[in-house]
Amino acid sequence: MRSATSKHLHPVLGRRLIDWTLASLRSVEPARIVVVVSPELEDAVDGVEVAVQREPRGSGHAAATARDALAGFSGAILVVADTPLMTESVLTGLFEAHRREEAAATILTFRPEVPLPYGRIVRGDTGAVDRIVEDKDAAPEELGIMELNSSIYVFDAAALWPALERLDSDNAQGELYLTDAIRHIREAGGAISAFESPDPWAPVGVNDRSELAAIAAVLRDRINEAHMLAGATIVDPTSTWIDAGVELAPDSTIHPFTVLRGRTRVAEGAEVGPHAVAIDAEIGARVLVGPFCYLRPGTVLEAGAKAGTFVEIKNSRVGEGTKVPHLSYIGDADIGAGTNVGAGNITANFPHKPGQPKGRTTIGRNVRTGVQNAFVAPLEVGDGAWIAAGSVITKDVPSGALAVARARQENKEGYADRGAGAADGDD
């Protein structure tokens, strides 16, 4: 990945790569999950058992590292790699094939749409799996085989551990290959079966940022399709990126070039975008967001509210029917119902002294602000108040009052006739 961040911790649509893999595993309700990690990742995964591989000696060595954690376990062991696109249906099919064939080991194979440097499945004259040849060890005729090894297997525990003990590093990479365990199990008389994934994307892993982008696009399409099938409208799914934890109600509409992240929730009848970003925001019923709007964490837009063009809102509640139409920043504020915020309004909440918490601005119900207003927190504007254009409000405004906080305009009549042009360098 050429990154300071471990491959497994790279984020994709609201989850890390390893979290996507774990989600697919949990979908088939395994009795236990053991994650084999390098020492620096020992504390990176919660809610599972962890086995630490102190030295990276290959996939076979990684599998053997889990043996102590699984001491006494006698059932079927599913071994997976970093496959964020894996699905419940593929894993269920793999387990069913393993039981049906009464196999000691079952390999998940696939036929990708593009060439990939995976191990080849070599079959014998009867069609049964004879062996797996790694890409770097394959002969020219073996490189033409299109059925690939996904590095995902189901083993009977009684067959797996003795086979791992027989592994050696006599190969191009000098590693202990898990694929060689298949050969040892077959030589010991164990039955080997294979199940071809009906989804050619499900077994694909990630090894660089190009593949990361390709995986993200597939996950994007899956997430968007699920929302659309559940009743949400996504006008252009290819330009819309929605995290796994986002909730869209039926009859909500997401316009092109919109990004919804974190735990954002969009209620029925709301329209978001185009060109909108929302992170951990709550967007109520019939709310209008955008275009070109940024909703930061802690934003709550109540029913019928509007956050319009070039508006940024952070850690604020905007009341029912309240409109922030354009060119405004609302941060750390509470705005009541029915208020209209004029263009170019800003809540200035930076602490007056170092170490102080940010102030909060409270604007009441049915308030009418003017253009180019600034509200210097902490302060409170009462219900039904009016704010004159160009005012910087630093004191509380009573309900129903008009606040004017600006220099008085003064016109110098005849100024142009007194040589103002010459002063500007004109002839």
Cβ–Cβ under 8 Å, residues 380 and 362: yes
Report the alpha-carbon distance of residue 136 to residue 351 in Å, rounded.
61
Smallest CA-to-CA distance from 82 within 22, 132, 4 is with: 22
Cβ–Cβ under 8 Å, residues 53 and 64: no
Q: Which residues contact 217 (CB under 8 A, 6 or more apart)?
A: none
219 secondary structure, DSSP code: H
List of long-range contacts for 262-267, beta carbons under 8 Å, 24+ apart: 262/14, 262/297, 264/295, 266/232, 267/303
Beta strands in 38-124 (DSSP E): 49-52, 76-79, 105-110, 120-123
Classify the C-alpha dihedral 227-233-238-243 as positive or negative.
negative
Tokens of 81: 């790699």
Cβ–Cβ under 8 Å, residues 361 and 349: yes
User: Would you please indicate which residues are annotated as catalytic (active-site) residues?
Assistant: 326
Report the alpha-carbon distance of residue 185 to residue 131 in Å, rounded.
11
